[in-house]
Amino acid sequence: MDSIRRIHFVKFIAIFDHVLQVFTKATQVIDRFHVQKLAYDAVQEMRIAYRWQAIEQENNEIEISKELGETYLPNKLSNGDTHKQLLARSRYLLFKPKSKWTPSQVWRAELLFKYYPELERAYELAQKLGHIYHQVKDKGVAFTKLAHWYDIVEKAAFKSFNTIAKSIQGHYITILNYFERRSTNASAESFNAKIKAFRSQFRGVRNVPFFLYRLSMIMLSPQLFRLIPFCLTGEPEKLIFLTPVLNTNLQKQKSHPVKLT
């Protein structure tokens, strides 16, 4: 296993130390897309919270209108959206940089950030993290910029950003390792998709060893395939795979068919 030089993880998982014991000379890297996803999820969490507030307010207004015997007419904004609709229809524009917004999204974003300024601050934080990954090519510069970004997040005190802040604090070394070569696990994700397509043809797997054998013959050379599984427990029948779709306990597969997840 000394030939493996870099290992990419798609999540902050608890097997880092075990992997390092097996791949002694490998550099561990947290994939950039997972870190960015945490930031985007934090923004979406805030948007959803605001939307629930808008729904509750609208329900209260409907109840008041019923009590008064009046027809409820929702308050519409200049683009024709209600607050509830504005928050629901703003989901995708919060994933995109401003340069890629359509004219209707620009109009919607102006209204969104006018009524929910905290959401604009959260959006800017997520975009700044993306800019660091897109623009910085030096590990030392990345360390400085990430530290500055982390400081801004702390001062903003957004509860939804707690997860990514703690993740960066606890795994900054493996996150910074990305900037050494700026490589991602895109090829592994592509291979994962092929495995899922191959597996779906059989609607689950009964004989896991034979499935792995067929997979190795069809998609990979046997030499490369042997690098995917590695034993952490010392028991030959228990294998843990770097590829999530193959992460299973072979011992449980002997008595009945189980669909891999």
Reading the chain (261 residues) residue by residue, the pLDDT tens digits are 556 666 766 665 556 666 666 777 777 777 788 888 889 999 999 999 999 999 999 999 999 999 998 888 888 999 999 999 999 999 999 999 999 999 999 999 999 999 999 999 999 999 999 999 888 888 899 899 999 999 999 888 888 888 888 888 888 888 888 888 777 767 767 777 777 777 777 676 777 787 777 777 766 554 444 444 443 333 333 333 344 344 443 344 443 433 333
Does 163 share its domain with 38?
yes
Q: Is residue 14 part of a domain?
A: no
Domain that holds residue 213: 186-261
Sign of the CA dihedral 62, 68, 70, 73?
negative
Does 117 share its domain with 236?
no
Q: Is residue 23 part of a domain?
A: no
Does 207 share its domain with 245?
yes
Does 131 share its domain with 203?
no
Total structural domains in the chain? 2
Does 147 share its domain with 73?
yes
What is the dihedral angle through the alpha carbons of 248, 250, 251, 252, rounded to the nearest 10 degrees? 50
Closest CA to 183 of 23, 15, 16, 29: 29
Q: Is residue 25 part of a domain?
A: no
Does 236 share its domain with 152?
no
Q: Is residue 6 part of a domain?
A: no
Does 160 share its domain with 217?
no
Does 127 share its domain with 203?
no
Kind and range of the H or E run holding 229: strand 229-230
Taking CA atoms, 52 is separated from 32, 44, 45, 57, in Å, by 31, 12, 11, 9
Does 159 share its domain with 194?
no
Q: Is residue 24 part of a domain?
A: no
Q: Is residue 105 part of a domain?
A: yes
Does 39 share its domain with 155?
yes
Does 83 share its domain with 193?
no
Q: Is residue 178 part of a domain?
A: no
Does 46 share its domain with 155?
yes
